[in-house]
Amino acid sequence: MMKHTISELEDIASQVRRDCLRMVHAVQSGHPGASLGCADFFTALYFEVMNHDPKFNMDGKGEDLFFLSNGHISPVWYSVLARSGYFPLSELATFRKLDSRLQGHPTTHEGLPGVRVASGSLGQGLSVAVGAALTKKLNGDKSIVYSLQGDGELQEGQNWEAFMFAPFHKVDNLIASIDYNGQQIDGPTEKVLSLENLQAKFEAFGWHVITSDGNDMAEITKALHYAKSLTGKGKPILNLMSTQMGYGVDFMVGTHKWHGSAPSDDQLKTALDQIKQTAGDY
């Protein structure tokens, strides 16, 4: 039983994309590219798949948890958290400004509801998610831990320590997704440091790997539900999710150039003209 129709979820994702662009434009800094690329994933996760409580509690006992490892895509997470009811929508206007809880990269430090660990320095999130999943097992808590990492981030060695650990320790209440967009700051991952055959690598490490199209709402929703059905079977689950950086805006899509650049006034207008306002801008 779906909480929302695919069309409703697509409408939410559309509004989330507008939020991302407007937030980054307002302070002329931040990371729009992968925020746009992951808007569908975040929407599916928070509005459909996860069992979570916007009356935030750090320990999150009895609810699903999400950890963002590639913290620079904070705009999309902040938008989805606000639109899920974790904090007032108006607070999105404070993104990256002095005294804001919406720091450039997500943190617990200012007490933003929904965030359980700081991220930004790459490669650390999966280890934290594994730890949270272990605690859930110790607590007899059947809920699930989700995480997201960038693909370029996989160049950090700590990831592979965690990839090795989780199958060996049968951390089967964990669904790790990879934002497989093939781009990083200095160019395509293939040119910067190729990831080669990721699926084969994860399978060799002992993960149950599924693949998905992260920019097709019907498919990503289905993939995450399927991933959920695979939990509790002795293996951690890895969702190798293809996305396009900058998805939804014609001049941003598919290039690393919008990884960390803000649109100008004119570019924002052009971009917003392509993305439907569905739930009201903040």
Partner 1 sequence: MKKYTYTEKKDTRSGFGAGLHEAGKRNENVVALCADLVGSLKMDAFIKDFPERFVQVGIAEANMMGIAAGMTIGGKIPFTGTFANFSTGRVYDQIRQSIAYSGKNVKICASHAGLTLGEDGATHQILEDIGLMKMLPGMVVINPCDYNQTKAATLAIMEHQGPVYLRFGRPVIPVFTPEDQKFEIGKAWMVNEGKDVTIIATGHMVWRAIEAGEKLAELGIDAEIINIHTIKPLDEEAVLKSVKKTGCVVTCEEHNKFGGLGESVSRLLVTEYLVPQEFVAVNDSFGESGTPDQLMTKYKLDPVDIVAAAQKAISRRDKK
Selected range binding partner 1 among 31-39, 124-132, 201-209, 215-223, rule: CB under 8 A: 124-132
Selected range binding partner 1 among 13-21, 134-142, 233-241, 271-279, rule: CB under 8 A: 134-142
Which residue in the set 13, 39, 117, 252 belongs to the binding site for partner 1 (CB under 8 A)? 117
- In sequence order, the 6+-apart residues with CB closer than 8 A to the CB of 21 are 32, 36, 249, 263, 268, 271, 272, 275
Question: CB of 129: closest distance to partner 1 in angstroms?
Answer: 6
The yes or no reply on residue 127 touching partner 1 (CB under 8 A) is: yes
The yes or no reply on residue 44 touching partner 1 (CB under 8 A) is: no
Selected range binding partner 1 among 5-13, 21-29, 53-61, 79-87, rule: CB under 8 A: 53-61
Site string for partner 1, 58-97 (x = CB under 8 A): xxxx---x-x------------------------------
10 vs 264: CA distance, rounded Å:
26
Yes or no: say if 80 and 148 are a contact pair by the CB < 8 Å rule: no
Nearer to partner 1, 33 or 125 (CB): 125
Q: What is the DSSP letter of 150?
A: E
Nearer to partner 1, 127 or 183 (CB): 127
Three-state DSSP at 233 gives coil
Environment class of 270 (CB within 10 Å of its CB; exposed 0-12, middle 13-18, buried 19+): middle
* E strands present in the chain: 65-68, 145-150, 174-180, 183-184, 187-188, 208-213, 237-242
Yes or no: say if 61 and 138 are a contact pair by the CB < 8 Å rule: no
The yes or no reply on residue 231 touching partner 1 (CB under 8 A) is: no
The yes or no reply on residue 128 touching partner 1 (CB under 8 A) is: yes
Phi-psi region of 139 (alpha: psi -120 to 50; beta: other; left: phi over 0): alpha
Using only the alpha carbons of the chain, give its radius of gyration: 17
Q: Which of residues 143-172 bind partner 1 (CB under 8 A)?
A: 157-158, 161-162, 164-165, 169
Nearest-5° angle of CA 210, CA 159, CA 167?
Answer: 55
Which residue in the set 21, 126, 175, 210 belongs to the binding site for partner 1 (CB under 8 A)? 126
Number of residues near partner 1 (by CB under 8 A): 39
Nearer to partner 1, 164 or 193 (CB): 164
Q: Which tokens go with 24?
A: 């980054």
Nearer to partner 1, 157 or 280 (CB): 157
Nearer to partner 1, 161 or 203 (CB): 161
Question: CB of 56: closest distance to partner 1 in angstroms?
Answer: 12
Q: Which of 126, 135, 110 has its CA nearest to residue 59?
A: 135
The yes or no reply on residue 113 touching partner 1 (CB under 8 A) is: no
Interface residues with partner 1 (CB under 8 A) are 58-61, 65, 67, 107-109, 116-121, 123-136, 138-139, 141, 157-158, 161-162, 164-165, 169
